[in-house]
Each structure stands twice: as C-alpha cells, then as structure tokens.
Amino acid sequence: MSNIAIVGGQRLQGKVKVSGAKNATLAILGAALLANESIILENVPDISDVRIMVNIIRDLGGEIDWLDKEVISFVPPKEIKKSPIYNNVKKLRASNLLLGPLLAKFGYAEVALPGGCNIGVRPMDLHFKGLAGLGADLYIERGCVKGSAKKLAGARIYLDFPSVGATENIMMAACLAEGQTIIENVAKEPEIVDLANFLNSLGGKVRGAGTDVIKIEGVKSLDRGGRYAVIPDRIEAGTFMVAIAATRGDAILEGVIPRHIEPLIAKLREANVEITEEGDNLRVRAVSQLNPIDIKTLPYPGFPTDMQSQVMTLLTNVPGTSIIIENIFENRFQISDELKRMGAQIKVEGRMAVIEGVASLQGTVVKASDLRAGAALVIAGLMAEGVTEIINSFYIDRGYQDLEDKLSSLGAKIWRND
C-alpha cells in the first residue's frame, strides 16, 4: 500500500480544475437504478468511492462503462440479484443509498451494513424510519440490511435531524411511490439539489430541494434517459482553497460554484485571505498576515464539517488563538493528535478544539484516520518544514481525483512511495 510524501515550503501558484462532486455522484448512481432508459453521466470523479459504487451496481446487474476519464454510460438492470454484496458494500457507507431505489423499483433490497470513514456515530435509523413511512419493511440480520415493499405509498415524513443520506434515500424511493410525499426538516446541501435535478431529468416530480421541505409526486416509472453533468465538488474546491492559503500561495480554481462554498469563503476572508470570484473561477491569494478565526460546524448552509480538519490545519500556523466547535461528528478531532506530532498546539475538550498558532510545523510520519483528515495532513505537509509522509493514503483516494498531479501542477513537491 502506497504512502504520500511531501516536501513542504512551496507556495501553490497557477490554475487547477475542480472535479465532480463525490457525494452527488454516489447518490446519482443509486438514483440511476430507478431509470428505465440508458444514461450518460458527465463530470464523474474517478475516485475509489465511485469505482466501488460502480462495482456494487454491476454486481446488482447494472451495466456501467467508463467512456472517458470522467464520463460513464449506465444501463439500468431489468431485475436484480438478491444476494448480499458484502465485499464492496462494507467499504462504502454511501452504499446505503441503494436501499430506497431498490425498494421502489424492485420491491426488495439486501445489502451488507455499509462502511466508510470512522468519524463518529452515523446510525441508519432515519433512513429506516423514512422508508418505513412509505411502506417498506426493513430489518437488520447477520450484518445485512434487508427490506421489502409490495407497493410504496406517499406519506408525510419529518426528519429529527436533516440527514443528507436519509433525505436522499426517501426522496429517491418516493419518486416511484403512489401519491405525494412531503419530507420536512430535510438536508439542504447542493448535492441534494443536484440529485433532485437528476431525478427530474429522468421524469421525476421533485420540488423544494434546497429548502426545508421537499415534495415529491410519485410517478409510475422514470422513462427518460439522456445526459447529465454532476456539479463540481465543493469540498475539493474548499480543500484547494485552504491549501493555497496555508502555503501563502496565489492560484485560480476553475469550475467552481462559489455559492456552494459561501461559509468557507466568508471564514477565509475573515482570516485575511483574498478571494476573487470570476464566474465559475475563484482566485485565492494569501500574501498578508493571516488572522485567527472561530468556526462552528453546522448542517448546510452552515460551515461544513467536511472542511473542519483542513481549516484546523491552516490555523495551526496562524498567530493567535482560534476555536473550532464540531457539532456534527464527534470523532472529527482525531487529526489533532497527528498535527501535534508535527508541532501544533491544540487542546481538545469534548466537541471544542482550541488552536494556538505556531511559527511552523515540522515534517514527520503521520497517519490518516479518514478521508478529510488525510486531505488535511496533505495540507500540513505542504506547510511544514522538511519531509512529511502520510500513511493510509487510501483514505485520500476515496474522495480526491489525481490529487498529487493537481498539487504538483501548482508547484508542490509531492509523490507516492510504494
């Protein structure tokens, strides 16, 4: 298994294109099972999570081919295999997004309990409650989630927490349910809106995505195919923005939707990072002294938990005291121990981290514990003096396409050690 090595101290400069959104792609791949016609998906990130989801759907009988680096063709299965697809599903938490489409289209679902990053408790009770409200019967048996549904019927469903996955699962299932479904207190992330737009492109009737309430009018079938382009990945864009700021660089991100990352843009500007919006491009420039900031993670449109580790890393080198409060995942501060190995001064108390900026980090061997922590450690390596080696780089491959190549194009000294 390869590790990532970085020689720090290089300012990031130039231009880099942001890939398609990981989380939108995974949901859209699940939703494509609902279709009756073939689909071409564009701007699909070539990352390990997507390839695992592709393999899972192939196991179910779907026909998926890569036509180009970021383009796939998808022919939905007419019927599915009913055996658990354990080896792939255990690696990917987003595989739970297959439940809604499978129950709605085929009346049956059986998948292994999903895996993913170890960043905290992420129960599936909201998924179960919502799908049960539509008429599905779900239970867990011997490490597998099993479910059946003779015919789903529209319902009014209230989510106790605006879960992205639960919102997506219920929304997909409701597209083929009889009657109207109203989901309240839903997630409002851009990926939810992208999924709704994709479902509507197939012939679905989804309204209200991006607001607190989503309404779905069920249809008998989704009979349209065609082409659909996935939105840019706001977390990849944010990761590059922080990396540029951390190296006191000056670079342009291409193919971004700035409104999707407004909370991060606002906080980076508060830290004295210059950010200029030019259509779907962002110029990030950090040549002046940076200021300490405080952040609180919240569901969208609040500050994204998926950017917390990266910003923590940036703040380790900003003079003064910064405070981070993590309101989403209780284990998101695991990275602090690795950053402290590099010389950072961080004190963690429950869901709060206090960061005292130091003059510089020192390169050493560190270990990624999840996807975003891995990306944050790459940023730490770019900032640090000397050489940093990151173990468990496979976490990074789950969500970032061609990360080393993109950073190298900006002037970073980064490579893989096999």
In this structure, the dihedral spanned by the alpha carbons of residues 116, 120, 121 and 122, taken in order and rounded to 10 degrees, is: -50
Classify residue 220 by burial, with Cβ atoms within 10 Å: 0-12, 13-18, 19+. exposed
Active site residue 117: yes
Q: Round to the nearest angstrom and report the end-to-end CA distance of the chain.
A: 6
User: Is 125 known as a binding-site position?
Assistant: yes
Which residue type occupies 134?
L
DSSP for 127-180?
HHHHHHHTT-EEEEETTEEEEE-S--B--EEE-SS--HHHHHHHHHHHTTSBSE
Say if CB 191 and CB 231 are below 8 A apart. yes
User: Is 152 known as a binding-site position?
Assistant: no
User: Is 65 known as a binding-site position?
Assistant: no
How far is residue 74's CA from residue 42's CA, in Å, rounded to a whole number?
A: 11
User: Is 416 known as a binding-site position?
Assistant: no
User: Is 122 known as a binding-site position?
Assistant: yes
Q: How many CA atoms lie within 13 A of 240 on its CB side?
A: 39
* Options 33, 44, 117, 230, the catalytic residue: 117
User: Is 22 known as a binding-site position?
Assistant: yes
User: Is 124 known as a binding-site position?
Assistant: yes
User: Is 414 known as a binding-site position?
Assistant: no
Please state, in angstroms and as integers, the Cα–Cα distance from residue 339 to each residue in 286, 347, 378, 390, 392, following that order: 22, 11, 11, 12, 15
Catalytic residue numbers? 117
- Which residues contribute to the annotated binding site for UDP-N-acetyl-alpha-D-glucosamine? 93, 122-126, 306, 328
- Which residues contribute to the annotated binding site for phosphoenolpyruvate? 22-23
- Which residues contribute to the annotated binding site? 22-23, 93, 122-126, 306, 328
